[in-house]
Amino acid sequence: MEALITLLPGDGIGPEVTSSAHRALKTVADVYGHDFRFEVRLIGGAAIDETQNPLPPDTVASCMESAAVFLGAVGGPKWSDPHAMVRPEQGLLELRAELGVYANIRPVKVMDELIGASPLRAEYIEGVDLIVVRELTGGIYFGKKTRDESLASDLCVYHTHEIERIVRVAARLAEGRRNKLCSVDKANVLETSRLWRDVTNQTLAREFPELDTETLLVDAAAMHLLSRPRDFDVIVTENMFGDILTDEASMLAGSMGMLPSASLGDSTRGLYEPIHGSAPDIAGLDVANPCAAIASAALLLRHSLGLAEEADAVEAAIAAAIGAGVRTADIARDGETPVSTTEMTDRILSALG
């Protein structure tokens, strides 16, 4: 198979984990006889420093010509001035809009070997295997923003078609898993959530009547994610709630460094990134966990390139390294010697190749 993949290393630890994902994809190409070509482009703070634009036109052009896009991370204290007119995160939001990716898929699966890395007791998290489906291009992140010296506002807007399409994505995923879907909103307070609930219930009743469905308020969902995480299969929710809940859910798996994500739209071209962010405090130290980035590369293979066997092999290689006791600092327990980003990547790729 031939495919062009755009790499956006970004900021902080982004370049380090993007290198790991790049190496994994090149190894897959070598082992399975594919021809993957790569273009590296700027985004976020790195792009601001170079071009004063968090999403330069040549980055957009490369992404639109590619079969898939891989992103490391954006942001950091260097660009965090609240009064700045241009911010790294604007580049990511604009990229999502340009690509038309509206469904962010975030799988959370607890490996038996990493149960001790989670702050939760083993009896709560054994067997956890869930997916959070986060709406990605609507809500408060994209609404009109105003600010003066004494007042600020962020408008939260959702349209019926935005809710219907994300609910369909989540419902189809649930049909291929345990047939359970939980919708999360804040319908007791927010008008957008009341629309979300009405449209979700109508869509599920009309198109997916066989699904086992549940509705939770977001505050209750946050509690239940910790008190009964095994009960969840697929969770669907709006943009900001999904952002917050998936960071919480990362603690089930032991570290944000273990969780990948795929952002998908109506085409096969997707945007793939680890959920952990730029982690500027450890940037350049070769200690970041590359597992989420490499697992995101597996999602890229599966969803954008249609290479399920290769994706399974990458995920199995991660599991093999973890099973062999290889740990970066974020998932190492007392008495375990952590390895570097490079060493963890080497061990994963040795299992893959």
Upper half-sphere CA count for residue 241 (Cβ side, 13 Å) = 27
83: which 2 tokens? Answer: 């009064």
| Angle made by CA atoms 272, 274, 277, in degrees to the nearest 5 | 120
Helix pair 44-51, 88-99: axis angle to 10 deg: 110
Task: Please identify which of the residues 11, 158, 185, 186 carries the catalytic annotation.
Answer: 186
Task: Please identify which of the residues 185, 233, 243, 330 carries the catalytic annotation.
Answer: 243
Active-site residue flag, 186: yes
If you count DSSP H runs as helices and E runs as strands, how many of each does the chain have, helices first?
12, 12
310: closest CA among 106, 20, 26, 37?
Answer: 26
Q: How many residues does the chain have?
A: 353
- Give the DSSP letter string of 223-258: HHHHH-GGG-SEEEE-HHHHHHHHHHHTTTTT-GGG
Upper half-sphere CA count for residue 345 (Cβ side, 13 Å) = 24
Kindly tell me the burial class for residue 27, based on how many C-beta atoms sit within 10 Å of its own C-beta (0-12, 13-18, 19 or more): buried
Task: Please identify which of the residues 26, 154, 180, 247 carries the catalytic annotation.
Answer: 247
Active-site residue flag, 141: yes
Q: Would residue 182 be called left, alpha or beta, if left means φ above 0 and alpha means ψ between -120 and 50 degrees?
A: beta
β-pair partners for 147: 152
* CB-based contact 133:236 (threshold 8 Å): yes
* CB-based contact 280:10 (threshold 8 Å): no
Task: Please identify which of the residues 141, 185, 272, 330 carries the catalytic annotation.
Answer: 141
Active-site residue flag, 26: no
Residue with tokens 């690509």: 99
Active-site residue flag, 32: no
d(CA 216, CA 323): 35
Task: Please identify which of the residues 49, 58, 198, 219 carries the catalytic annotation.
Answer: 219
Active-site residue flag, 81: no
Active site residues: 141, 186, 219, 243, 247
